[in-house]
Amino acid sequence: MHRIIALLMVAFFSISSTAHANVDLSGKTITWVVPFKEGGGTSRFARFIQPFLTKYLPGNPDIQVMHIPGGGAIKGSNYFQKNAKPDGTYIFGCSTSVIVNVATGNPLVEYNLSEYRPVLLLPQNTHWFTRTDLADGPHDLSKLKERDLVLYALKTPASADLFHIWVFDKLGIKGAKPIPGLSSSGGYQAFLRGEIHISSHGAANYKKKVRPEIEKGKVVDLMTLGIIGADGSVSRNPLAPNAPTFPEMYEKVNGEKLSGDDLEAFYSIGAAWSQASKSMLLPEGTPDEIVEVFRDAARKMVDDPEFKEKATTALGPFPLIIGEEAGEIVKKAAVFSDNTKDQLNAALKKNRFTYRVQ
């Protein structure tokens, strides 16, 4: 029996090695399409990973990052759909914005995101916070729930910002009113000026901008979205380990655990907003052997001493998700159920937006 298992393992690794040997990217140029302007989060993600991929892909190909901003990421995403060849010479730099365009049914979308072949995902997380005078200490929503008006920034309901509307609705903050047209950075400046009451940031800006204000006693944490595991577990964000996750806050204010339709919607939103926040994908139809070569390079990359030394600062504290697990998350993020759409549309209607998730 042991001999049979040993022979099967040898056969598996021999097949894997042969498949890898058939993929040679020597002398090739790989185009990494990023549908945003240079210097943004997806751009920084791509440029950090770029030299490590070159190092570990067979043949050490040259990788060029191509920025195609415009249309809320739709211009560059549609370009990739039309032009990318499934031969290992094209990579797509995806983000939550790209996913939301698909999941909410934007009619301008021409890209078939759910069929792309994920190599790796870089999870991120959202931190919510408020001013010290608007809470009875950290993680307290009582004062905000009592207010007739609680203002927060919302760039557009057609973006990932629409998830804020759902979150505040589920927590019973009845006075929550979005101010459309305010970007994350613009919203944070308005928050510091006292013009809005709740603000939020991702990991990098939370560390850089929010923590100093917390240390000064001007700002308090409310909660984070939470780190969602493959098994459905939700753990606390290591950057704010004392802050409750959204499911914990939901249970605190509603007196019952997040479950049923609300839990399903949370998992879909979490896949789009957190787990697949930044990702590297290959085009639809890319052969398995090429996909596995890229995933193998990603696995070697995360074990590289230089990557380990620099990744937390450059990418954040969350481990990369590599392989088949990444594919399931992207599909969940890109295809919202009717229930999730109904929940988001109900929250939009309460806030008198005419925009609807299709």
H-only helix segments in the chain: 2-21, 41-56, 74-83, 96-103, 142-146, 162-170, 184-192, 203-205, 211-215, 246-254, 260-270, 288-302, 305-315, 324-334, 338-350
pLDDT tens per residue, range 238-265: 999 999 999 999 999 999 999 999 999 9
CATH number, position 308: 3.40.190.150
Whole-model pTM? Answer: 0.88
> Do 86 and 136 have their domain in common?
no
Residue 329 placed within a domain: no
> Do 205 and 342 have their domain in common?
yes
pLDDT tens per residue, range 174-232: 999 999 898 888 999 999 999 999 999 998 889 999 999 999 999 999 999 999 987 88
pLDDT tens per residue, range 68-95: 999 989 999 999 999 999 999 999 999 9
pLDDT tens per residue, range 150-183: 999 999 888 889 999 999 999 999 999 999 898 8
The angle, 0 to 180 degrees and rounded to 10, between the axes of the packed helices 246-254 and 162-170 is 30
- pLDDT for 21 equals 57
> How far is Cα 125 from Cα 157, in angstroms, rounded to an integer?
19
Tokens representing 355 are: 């925009």
> Do 50 and 78 have their domain in common?
yes
- Residue ranges making up the domain that contains 66: 28-117+276-322
> How far is Cα 85 from Cα 101, in angstroms, rounded to an integer?
23
The count of domains in the chain is: 2
C-alpha distances (whole Å) from 207 to each of 109, 200, 221, 240 are 34, 12, 12, 10
pLDDT tens per residue, range 9-61: 444 444 444 445 589 999 999 999 999 999 888 999 999 999 999 999 999 99
> Do 268 and 280 have their domain in common?
no
- Phi, psi for 202 (deg, rounded to 5): -80, -175
Residue 12 placed within a domain: no
- pLDDT for 4 equals 43
CATH number, position 346: 3.40.190.10
Residue 182 placed within a domain: yes
